[in-house]
Structure 1
Amino acid sequence: MSVKVLILEDNPVARSFLCKVVRESFSDALQIVEAADLESARREVQVHGMDPLNGIKLMLVDLELPDGNGMDLLSDLMGTPPLKVVTTLYSDDEHLFPALQCGADGYLLKEDRFEVLVEELQRIVRGQPPLSPAIARRLLGHFRPAHADTAPSGLHSNFGALGGNGPNSRPVPLDPTSGETARLSPRENEVLTYLSKGFTIKEIANLMGIKWYTVNDHIKSIYKKLNVSSRAEAAVLASKQGLV
């Protein structure tokens, strides 16, 4: 009997990518059910059920959808058998912690390499929580006391993606007169302006006439250059620079 997996993702390219990740991750016979919006996902859940024997065993849930938010589905199904893993572009606290509070059993970043996503999903078989490396680091940094510094010094260099020098570092706000944002390219400045005004990645892509994954690359570059780790921190700097 095949294992049923539901993939909720509105972008067809990303959905196809996630299907490949799932097929590569598990040796079991799989029945992958695809849904492009919240309504379709809820309908598939009703059709296939969630009982331990024949129902959906694993769900990959995108957050921002055309007709709502994946967190709504997580909340609806909180406490039910399927393992629910968020697959998203967002690594900030504003998305991570609400998703976990809504019942997500794991949190993966679609921007991670194919091999990384496969390895993280395979953790399910070993009973370990599927978390992208950057998300695992963020969780450790959030719950570790601010004064704690028990990690070996050799590990600290692995936490650079969070914009600090170690697992407990917080991004240091830039002086708005320092000219740091001048290092952003014109395209990155445009993305930062839209981002600060609250537009989603998909909306920014449509406004700029580029692909969503190109916008995501720009955002990662912006975060790195400005030494920030969330939309809110980037918005503060953009406001100080008069971009919004």
Structure 2
Amino acid sequence: MRADESAPIRVLIVDDDALVRAGLTLMLKGAPDLHIVGAVADGGEVEGAVAEHRPDVVLMDIRMNGLDGLDGIEATRRLRARTGAPEVVVLTTFDADELVFRALRSGASGFLLKDTPPEGIVEAVRKVVAGEPTLSPSVTRKLIAHLVPEEENRRRTDARQVLARLSEREREVALAVGQGKPNAVIAGELHMSVGTVKGYISRILTKADLDNRVQLALIVHDAGLG
């Protein structure tokens, strides 16, 4: 959670294409509640830039041709392993790119296609800061469909074992998260307060050893319950 909710959302852009970096910077500067704190061209520069600029959100390209060979997936994994890491939204050109699925498992809070309209990118940044994922259900289904059957079966078994560690009420909340429902809707359907829903989600993430609700949603999908 950000220390000052009224302050502009600090955004770091990571992309090896100078035109994309410039375009995203120009685009996001038009939103009064966003502040671009930096833009780097290589996955290897991410941790240093985050330490220097302390962004709330990192917009991370997946495929980068940096000199150190560090792509967006590995950069995301390393970043999210840090205490107090910012949220990560990965960027891709293809809506059926399996690399995006791997990036989400590395701890990203969602992804955007690079042709997303400016208002969509701004809204996505706001959502991840508020704890809401930026996943498109149609794209998520395509990504899951790309998994080979053996891998899908293994993931289903592992996911069901994770969910089996939850209480009945926790599984109800997890299923609702997997269906893409926001906290307010979950609260209404399960007859609890939004604060209680947040508490359940926090406990579920701890029990399942997950970083965020995006990964929880993927677990539910993998279990065949989403």
Q: How large is the RMSD of aligned CA atoms in angstroms?
A: 2.6
Matched, 1:88 2:92: yes
Provide TM-score, normalisation by structure 1.
0.48
Identity %, equivalent residues:
28
Q: Secondary structure at the match of 1:13?
A: helix
Q: Which has the higher helix share?
A: 2
Provide TM-score, normalisation by structure 2.
0.51
CA distance in 2, matches of 1:20, 1:57: 18
Matched, 1:107 2:106: no
Displacement after TM superposition at 1:22 (Å): 2.8
**Equivalence for 2:20:** 14
**Equivalence for 1:77:** 79
Change (3 A) 1:97 1:140: same
Q: Secondary structure at the match of 2:30?
A: helix
**Equivalence for 1:216:** none
Q: Say if 2:8 and 2:33, in contact at 8 Å, map to a contact too.
A: no
Deviates more, 1:39-48 or 1:76-85: 39-48
**One-letter amino acid of the structure 2 residue matched with residue 78 of structure 1:** R
Q: Which has the higher contact order (CA 8 A, sep 6+)?
A: 2
Q: Secondary structure at the match of 2:134?
A: coil
Q: Secondary structure at the match of 1:129?
A: coil
Change (3 A) 1:24 1:130: farther
CA distance in 2, matches of 1:3, 1:118: 10
The superposition leaves residues 12-55 of structure 1 with CA deviations (integer Å, 9 ceiling, x where unpaired) of: 11112212333334525x2421101123323313433xxxxxx2
Displacement after TM superposition at 1:124 (Å): 3.2
Paired residues in the alignment total 134
Structure 2: runs of 5 or more not aligned: 1-6, 146-226
Q: Say if 2:62 and 2:100, in contact at 8 Å, map to a contact too.
A: no
Displacement after TM superposition at 1:11 (Å): 1.0
Q: Write out the 4+ residue segments of structure 1 that deviate beyond 6 Å after TM superposition.
A: 141-144
